Structure 1
Amino acid sequence: MHSAVDESRFERELQIGREIQRGFLPENLPELDEWDIAAYFEPAREVSGDFYDAYDVINGDFLAFAIADVCDKGIGAALFMALIRSLLRQAAVADEGLTAVPEPVGSAGRPLPGAALALRAVRTTNDYLTTNHLHQAYFATLFFGVVDTRTGELIYINCGHNAPVVQRATGEQLSLLPTGPALGLMRDAHFDLGFATLERGDLLYLYTDGVPEARNPAGEFLGEGRMLAMLADPGRAATVIERMRKAVAEHAGVGEQFDDITMLGLLRHPAGPGEYQRTTEPRDDGGDGP
């Protein structure tokens, strides 16, 4: 039988684990001219298998970003999350000079530097996981993207993750469907590149399944349809993320949070430099992202 001292020590260790895990999330999201970035993170338990990340690459002209969901929950998933996040970031920032590739090329006929970066990050991470941790039966869905902040050209690999949505300023919606299997699931997996362009006023919304699968006390899901409908209302990245957070909270009511909830929004300003003021959303240590 566990004593009160044992339970107190275990709770303290879980709290330390939560604090360490939050240290793996970016303390501040990049601040880029003509771009707006916001995020939200709320684990279902003390620790989470979800994560998001964003950082400048290739001399600061490109933004790399990721969102992922490790299978299962709890301490094991959290440790696997920390490993994947570290592997991805290390691979993405290593040897940045080796980024140009002969194919594919952009609309202007020039090499796309983010292509080699994305492929290197995802392939090396998958190789490490399947070589060293396949027997542990953990895997993760992941969306990893690299956007040229000057042109809005986006290169991505979707490893079996919920399809992020590009909410066009025109009102149209584009889903960025999977281009490969989940990370850590199979050796020598093939990952294709996906391409899109974020025009002025377009918002890219990334999420984990804790958003559409949020349940109310009656067991009803929030649903992808309602989530997509709420994206149709324009707003800054932080405004859209907060709108989604409130919708999930209101739908769940007093019900238990069954899954981790993570969101990332990336908006290309609808106007030129100096015409679209940036506001900074403070980070909430109680669970909100930047």
Structure 2
Amino acid sequence: MGKNELAQVLDVVYRAILRETVSFNYYYRASNDPSLPDGVRGLLGKLAEEERGHRKILLKEYTAIQKGWSGRGQHSSEEGSISYSIPEDPEFLSLPAPVQLDVEAVSLPSRLVGGDHILGRVAESGEGSGGGLFLILYDAMGHGIETTRFNSAAASILGEYLDATSSADAETEILSPSRAVTRLNADFSGQFQGSGVFLTLVAVYIDPVGGVLKYSIAGHEPPLIIRSDGTMESLYYTQLLIGIDQERRYMEYSVPFTQGDRLCVFSDGILEARNSAGEFYGRHRLNRVLAGCSERSAKEIVNRILADLREFCGDETLEDEVSVAVVGCCGT
């Protein structure tokens, strides 16, 4: 296959991925519309899962085409693979947090090795007191130690970007999720374009004083918000994965986030964990765990998720990283 033909083939698959992403957004959002009958919402949920599956198939094809026709070698599927169980006493990450927010996170089996990464940064206000929280969770597609290199590259890009501040006003602007994600995508794509390496991520900026949460999602599982009254909402509008289109500009959306609300961000390693019967843990089970957590601390919620995941898996080990972060708003 010539270079021109290869480019055209990749463009077709790329556009198909875009269409699947748009379709997933539509079905998933509609499946959470309380005005629709349960049967209709159930059908829409199934259609959303179909679109999610189609997108994964297309991504695998995109990767296979790039690697198979670019002269790059395939990574071994066995070497450096992981296999572990959820510990009863996991080590929590040390993340910064303004006084108005309760923040806890875990990344398993290791915070240094693998494709998952959670990063937090507190924006200082003009008066020098804690301001908003920038939080990002990303997942380098793949499994095992081989993804560590991609994780490290993304962390380096984000670190350099986030350190480029000279004032409180400039820092708040730089911590815009859409700007951070657009910059990460441009630099990461420049390093890995054509190698079939992608990231999914969620980036949020929470302003507890203003009572708002801004976010950008790139191909990642939609996070969940547990409202103070116990109802749950998903963050919609997932966009294209990081690493496909270097010129893409990412959009930013916002929702209210006030006292008593809790945000839960997680990697797909949780949803795709299997038990001995080959069943997936899935989003519905996670929703059941989170129901009734409106009065629990961030650490309690993380522990409840991990305990239920451990119970579900039983003797089966996990073969993908598991990361989860919970942020609770304690007030202004």
TM-score range (shorter-chain normalised) is: 0.7 to 0.9
- Which residues of structure 1 form unaligned runs of 5+? 1-13, 15-24, 101-111, 273-290
Q: Where do residues 260-275 of structure 1 align in structure 2 (5 Å cutoff)?
A: 260-269=321-330
Counterparts of 1:216 and 1:186 in 2: how far apart (Å)?
36
Counterparts of 2:298 and 2:92 in 1: how far apart (Å)?
17
Counterparts of 1:225 and 1:162 in 2: how far apart (Å)?
13
Aligned to 1:66: 136
Counterparts of 1:195 and 1:172 in 2: how far apart (Å)?
18
Local SS of the residue matching 1:182: coil
Q: Where do residues 1-290 of structure 1 align in structure 2 (5 Å cutoff)?
A: 28-43=94-109, 47-59=113-125, 60-95=130-165, 97=167, 113-114=172-173, 117-234=176-293, 235-269=296-330
Local SS of the residue matching 1:137: coil
User: Which of the pair is proportionally richer in helix?
Assistant: 2
Residues 231 and 237 (structure 1), Cα distance of their counterparts in 2 relative to 1, 3 Å cut: same
Counterparts of 2:132 and 2:111 in 1: how far apart (Å)?
34
Q: Give the alignment's Cα RMSD to 1 decimal.
A: 2.6
The aligned amino acid for 1:194 is Y
Local SS of the residue matching 1:61: strand
Counterparts of 1:143 and 1:42 in 2: how far apart (Å)?
18
The aligned amino acid for 1:236 is S
Counterparts of 2:144 and 2:183 in 1: how far apart (Å)?
25
Report how far residue 93 of structure 1 moved: 3.5
Identical-pair percentage: 26
Report how far residue 170 of structure 1 moved: 1.3
Moved over 6 A (4+): none
> TM-score normalised to the size of structure 1?
0.74
Report how far residue 176 of structure 1 moved: 1.0
Report how far residue 45 of structure 1 moved: 11
Residues 252 and 114 (structure 1), Cα distance of their counterparts in 2 relative to 1, 3 Å cut: farther
Local SS of the residue matching 1:210: helix
Give the number of equivalent residue pairs: 237
Residues 179 and 210 (structure 1), Cα distance of their counterparts in 2 relative to 1, 3 Å cut: closer
* Mean Cα deviation higher: 193-202 or 175-184: 175-184
Residues 46 and 252 (structure 1), Cα distance of their counterparts in 2 relative to 1, 3 Å cut: farther
Counterparts of 1:190 and 1:46 in 2: how far apart (Å)?
29
Q: Residues 255-290 of structure 1, C-alpha deviation per residue, up to 9 Å, x if partnerless?
A: 121211000000012x67xxxxxxxxxxxxxxxxxx
> TM-score normalised to the size of structure 2?
0.65
Report how far residue 27 of structure 1 moved: 5.6
User: Is the contact made by 2:165 and 2:174 (CA closer than 8 Å) also made in structure 1?
Assistant: no
User: Is the contact made by 1:217 and 1:252 (CA closer than 8 Å) also made in structure 2?
Assistant: yes
Report how far residue 149 of structure 1 moved: 2.8
User: Is the contact made by 2:118 and 2:136 (CA closer than 8 Å) also made in structure 1?
Assistant: yes
Q: Residues 98-157 of structure 1, C-alpha deviation per residue, up to 9 Å, x if partnerless?
A: 957xxxxxxxxxxx9458732332122111122221122111001011111322311111
The aligned amino acid for 1:259 is D
- Which residues of structure 2 form unaligned runs of 5+? 1-79, 81-90
The aligned amino acid for 1:154 is L
* Mean Cα deviation higher: 44-53 or 164-173: 44-53
Local SS of the residue matching 1:82: helix
